[in-house]
């Protein structure tokens, strides 16, 4: 980490919401304590709503205690031991997550889309000794059971279903649990129900604000995923800060669609609502029609989702006739919300989209638009105790307002560092004015009111004949084209320009095959609205763009395919 002298002081936005303090008094306790407090305050209130299964706070607390006791007494989990959590959204995910924390272990969330090689790396790198796994996922982790992982507890999503009659439960969720069978090495997994009924109770809880509680692995742009070290304090700072910022209360009903293995879902759909004593309405997988059913049935008032998910949801047939009147807050991040889509949400449904910005390295919540004064296509302003600045990515010198550079951040929610990776830490942190700043790798600028705007990822810039093109800017324009449903802009090789701009586009169903929706027509439309060097020189049509489990368009996968195709030609 290189020290850098600064000539400016942290900027305080004049748009700071009235009545909110500059600093926040974050509880100096563990995340588990939030559930314990809520169970005392609201024992009979629904904590989790799962297709008609209403789990109260008292019941949730008891389930967590039982599983934490099993981890300590039957699995030998000691303070600081890492435990993998490999599951889709379900009540068992939440119980397992908090049971690991209650046992003073460290949660290692695993993406359900990972295959054996990715799991093997994370298990080896983290040194995990046990795991929770969904029944359909156990085969992928079985080879690690008995060697690296001493114990694996398997849960089945349908086990907690208590169908309330007429709510359409997905067919895949009703499938019977597969029979448990030994791992290749002979180790036998334990059924969730057996662990739960063993009757163990945990030792007194001693974890606190500074205790390591999670290793969240980032996908990264090169090499293997890296583990972000988060304490209860960094997670609590983001979880609590986001709710104070949004004026949320214990009466909130949160639609939990975003995957909980990811920080967006983990914080907004689990940790934050359980801190409040609110109600979580669970969805294991994205289904736009089912999401509308759940909003209507349980009167969901808060929904955090990436733009691509909302584009899909609000484009479904008949959405204008659904009762969405309970929705009071619609927000998210991960990608800029196209202006055309934001206009549609406001005009047709009266729902402003409040954008925010965070990373796995910052426990999600970092910058956010004020609810009363949001700006479009904007990351927001620095929130409680956050110092955010813009630097030259090469010289590391701080840049003035309006100039584009790399965004760097300092705050209580920033991770401690990357797990056992001093080289990555050296590359990712810089010291300014005696404070440790995280280099985000995101390029943007700050306006005169302290709002930050994203240009693009540092590694995503297209260099066309020396001119810099930011794909996000071109994508945002494409979303306003009447025939385009989704768009992704990548770099393509060009013999004369070095790189050129390529747009991969999914058309609206009613626009396919029409005269105005051809490649030449779209390029001509762009030429009327963009500088010539930013206009796509190639337009490719696809039925749908690939998305991650969190709903983000996978631009990196499309870019890799383009590079591979170029090499083969």
Domain-located, residue 426 = no
> Kind of pairing, strands 212-218 and 190-191?
unpaired
List, in sequence order, every beta strand (DSSP E) within 82-221.
Answer: 82-86, 106-110, 130-134, 151-155, 190-191, 212-218
Q: What angle do CA 361, 205, 230 make, to 5 degrees?
A: 5
Residue pair 50/164 in contact (Cβ under 8 Å)? The answer is no
What is the end-to-end Cα distance of the chain in Å, rounded? 42
Which two tokens mark 434? 């005696």
Residue pair 4/430 in contact (Cβ under 8 Å)? The answer is yes
Q: Which of 333, 351, 412, 334 is nearest to 342 (CA)?
A: 351
Domain-located, residue 245 = no
Domain-located, residue 554 = yes
> Kind of pairing, strands 151-155 and 190-191?
parallel
Q: Which of 245, 281, 247, 232 is nearest to 385 (CA)?
A: 245
Q: Which of 260, 206, 197, 205 is nearest to 63 (CA)?
A: 197
pLDDT at 6: 58
Domain-located, residue 338 = no
Residue pair 269/221 in contact (Cβ under 8 Å)? The answer is no
Neighbours of 297 (CB within 10 A): 16
**SS3 assignment, position 439:** strand
The low-confidence residues of the chain, meaning pLDDT below 50, are 221-222
DSSP conformational letter for 242: H
| E strand or H helix that includes residue 245 | helix 232-245
Q: Any idea what the CATH number is for the domain that residue 548 is in?
A: 3.30.300.30
Please report, to the nearest 10 degrees, the dihedral formed by the alpha carbons of residues 76, 78, 82, 84 taken in order: 40
Domain-located, residue 130 = yes
Residue pair 141/152 in contact (Cβ under 8 Å)? The answer is yes
Please list, in sequence order, all residues whose beta carbon lies within 8 angstroms of the beta carbon of residue 472, skipping any fewer than 6 positions away. 335, 336, 454, 455, 456, 489
Please list, in sequence order, all residues whose beta carbon lies within 8 angstroms of the beta carbon of residue 206, skipping any fewer than 6 positions away. 79, 104
Domain termination residue (choose one: 180, 211, 238) = 238
Q: Which of 132, 37, 24, 12 is nearest to 381 (CA)?
A: 12
Domain-located, residue 93 = yes
Domain span at 482: 460-568
DSSP letters of 263-305? Answer: HHHHIIIIIHHHHHT-EEEE-SS--HHHHHHHHHHHT--EEE-
Q: Estimate the crossing angle of helix 339-349 against helix 307-314, to 10 degrees.
A: 50
What tens digit of pLDDT does each residue of 432-480 get? 999 999 999 888 999 999 999 987 766 677 877 666 687 888 898 899 9
Q: Any idea what the CATH number is for the domain that residue 53 is in?
A: 3.40.50.980
Domain-located, residue 416 = no
Question: What is the total count of domains within the chain?
Answer: 2
DSSP conformational letter for 172: G
Domain termination residue (choose one: 217, 238, 259) = 238
List phi, psi (to 5°) of 148. Answer: -75, -45
Cα separation, 385 vs 237, in Å, equals: 10
Handedness of CA 286, 292, 295, 296 (dihedral sign): negative
Residue pair 445/401 in contact (Cβ under 8 Å)? The answer is yes
Cα separation, 522 vs 518, in Å, equals: 6
Cα separation, 82 vs 107, in Å, equals: 6
pTM of the model: 0.83
Which two tokens mark 189? 């997994």
pLDDT at 463: 74
Domain-located, residue 109 = yes
> Kind of pairing, strands 381-382 and 367-368?
antiparallel
Residue pair 329/301 in contact (Cβ under 8 Å)? The answer is yes
Cα separation, 230 vs 90, in Å, equals: 23
**SS3 assignment, position 9:** coil
DSSP letters of 100-158? Answer: HHHTT-EEEEE-TT--HHHHHHHHHHHT--EEEEEGGGHHHHGGGBTTTBSEEEEE-GG
**Beta bridge mates, 464:** 467, 498
Cα separation, 389 vs 400, in Å, equals: 9
Neighbours of 126 (CB within 10 A): 20
**SS3 assignment, position 560:** helix
Domain termination residue (choose one: 222, 238, 254) = 238
Cα separation, 369 vs 367, in Å, equals: 7
């Amino acid at each position: 980490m290189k020290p850098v002298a600064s000539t400016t002081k942290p900027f305080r936005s004049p748009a700071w919401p009235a009545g909110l303090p500059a600093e926040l008094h974050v509880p100096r306790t563990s995340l588990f304590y939030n559930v314990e407090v809520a169970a005392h305050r609201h024992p009979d209130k629904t904590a989790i709503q799962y297709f008609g299964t209403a789990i109260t706070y008292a019941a949730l607390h008891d389930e967590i205690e039982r599983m934490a006791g099993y981890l300590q007494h039957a699995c030998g989990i000691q303070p600081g031991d890492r435990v993998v959590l490999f599951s889709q959204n379900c009540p068992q995910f939440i119980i397992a997550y908090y049971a690991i924390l209650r046992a003073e272990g460290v949660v290692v969330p695993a993406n359900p889309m990972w295959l054996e090689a990715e799991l093997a790396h994370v298990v080896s790198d983290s040194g995990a000794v046990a795991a929770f796994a969904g029944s359909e996922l156990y085969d992928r982790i079985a080879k690690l059971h008995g060697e690296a992982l001493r114990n694996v507890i398997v849960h089945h999503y349908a086990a907690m279903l208590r169908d309330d009659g007429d709510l359409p439960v997905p067919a895949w969720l009703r499938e019977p649990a597969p029979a448990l069978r030994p791992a290749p090495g002979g180790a036998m997994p334990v059924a969730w129900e057996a662990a739960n009924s063993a009757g163990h109770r945990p030792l007194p809880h001693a974890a606190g604000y500074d205790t390591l509680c999670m290793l969240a692995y980032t996908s990264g742009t090169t090499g293997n995923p890296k583990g972000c070290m988060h304490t209860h304090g960094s997670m609590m700072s983001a979880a609590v800060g986001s709710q104070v910022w949004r004026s949320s209360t214990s009466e909130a009903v949160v639609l939990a669609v975003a995957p909980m293995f990811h920080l967006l879902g983990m914080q907004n759909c689990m940790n934050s609502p359980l801190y409040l004593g609110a109600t979580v309405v669970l969805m294991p997988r994205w289904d736009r029609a089912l999401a509308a059913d759940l909003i209507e049935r349980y009167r969901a008032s808060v929904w955090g989702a990436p733009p691509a998910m909302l584009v899909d949801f609000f484009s479904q047939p008949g959405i204008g006739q659904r009762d969405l009147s309970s929705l009071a807050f619609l927000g998210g991040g991960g990608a800029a919300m196209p202006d055309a889509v934001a206009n549609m949400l406001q005009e047709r449904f009266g729902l402003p989209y409040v954008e925010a910005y965070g990373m796995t390295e910052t426990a999600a919540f970092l910058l956010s638009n004020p609810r009363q004064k949001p700006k479009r296509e904007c990351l927001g302003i620095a929130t409680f105790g956050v110092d955010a600045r813009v630097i030259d990515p090469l010289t590391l010198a701080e840049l003035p307002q309006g100039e584009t550079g790399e965004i760097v951040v300092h705050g209580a929610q920033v991770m401690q560092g990357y797990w056992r990776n001093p080289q990555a830490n050296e590359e990712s942190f810089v010291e300014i004015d005696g404070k440790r700043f995280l280099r985000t790798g995101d390029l943007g600028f700050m306006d005169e009111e302290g709002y930050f705007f994203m240009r693009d990822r540092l590694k995503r810039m297209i260099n066309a004949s020396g001119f810099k093109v930011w794909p996000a800017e071109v994508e945002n324009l494409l979303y306003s084209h009447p025939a385009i449903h989704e768009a992704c802009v990548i770099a393509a090789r060009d013999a004369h320009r070095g790189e050129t701009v390529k747009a991969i586009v999914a058309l609206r169903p009613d626009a396919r095959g029409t005269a105005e929706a051809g490649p030449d027509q779209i390029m001509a439309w762009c030429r009327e609205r963009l500088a010539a060097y930013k206009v796509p020189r190639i337009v490719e049509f696809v039925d749908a763009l690939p998305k991650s489990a969190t709903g983000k368009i996978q631009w990196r996968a499309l870019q890799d395919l383009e590079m591979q195709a170029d090499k083969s030609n």
